Chains A and B, each alone.
Chain A
Amino acid sequence: MSANLVKIGPLSQPVDIGDEIAQFSPEIEAEIDQHLAKYPVPRSAILPLMFIVQRERGYLDPPGVAYLAKRLALRFTDIWEVATFYSMIYTEPVGKYHIQVCRTLSCKIRGAGKITEHCSQKLGIKPGETTADGRFSLSEVECLGSCGTAPMFQINFDYHEDLTPAKVDQILASLP
């Protein structure tokens, strides 16, 4: 569960959806159709589709919201209320690599704080921030189900477990 750190803005700021609607290639449209075919009600596909929009556009941007509203025959607000509920749906840009350090109890007592601090120092950003070049975002998140291999973080969808500062250096250096 990602923390609320990357998406503080949208809840208090009005967002202008505008007139632009995102467009996707036929392959991605076909992938979206596959998800829709799983459910008797199109709205059920809202989260899988949001992840696709996010993957293709970096985050759920206003044209992406407009696209989902059109594709699922829903209102913008229907899309927005769901988007703002789930911590893995980004309504603001995030870095290319989103480092999500687990902060919950099992990780905490096995040194999660040191891992966050180490990332923070190395990247020059605090949790909740993104590097100026847009390469890294850092967050502290709630339990990721990796308690037996604590401390750990998730970079985008990849789990990295049994971390030490040296291992963190290695992982960060290996990213393309």
Chain B
Amino acid sequence: MNEVAKYFSGIAQGVKTLLTGMKITGYYFSHARTEIITQQYPNNRDTLKMFDRFRGVVEMPHDENNEHACTGCQACEIACPNGSIEILWERVVDPETGKKKKTIDKHVYHFSMCTLCNLCIIACPTDAIKMGQGFEYSVFDRKQLTQVLNNPGSKVRADVKD
């Protein structure tokens, strides 16, 4: 292409790309108040719904009988790269068989050390823990970030096998 043609095609190309950009921002401008708009976060707390794959704090779901699926196998504790999970377990004698069995006492979770990497959830053989939807966890004392995930007095569900 010779220089003169290049000069004029450069002008045309430049005008075209500028108009394309203006078209896009013009669309944003005309639709800003109706369809697409930034979340009004502290005001929309009541209606705010996080998306499914959001990884918040680790939770252990309990059913209505206050039973969970954690067997205390420590797989999550081993999988955790930061040591933010600590399983306190004990051996109790099963009254039916008379054998000693490993059960969970406390599933201690240090949120202050957790990077929300999801490895504990992958490691769990019984799907006892999951990533929650909560994210408002600023506290004044670091101790408050250490939680016990299983409710007091909760048991392992009977159908959960090791």
A and B: bona fide binding partners: no
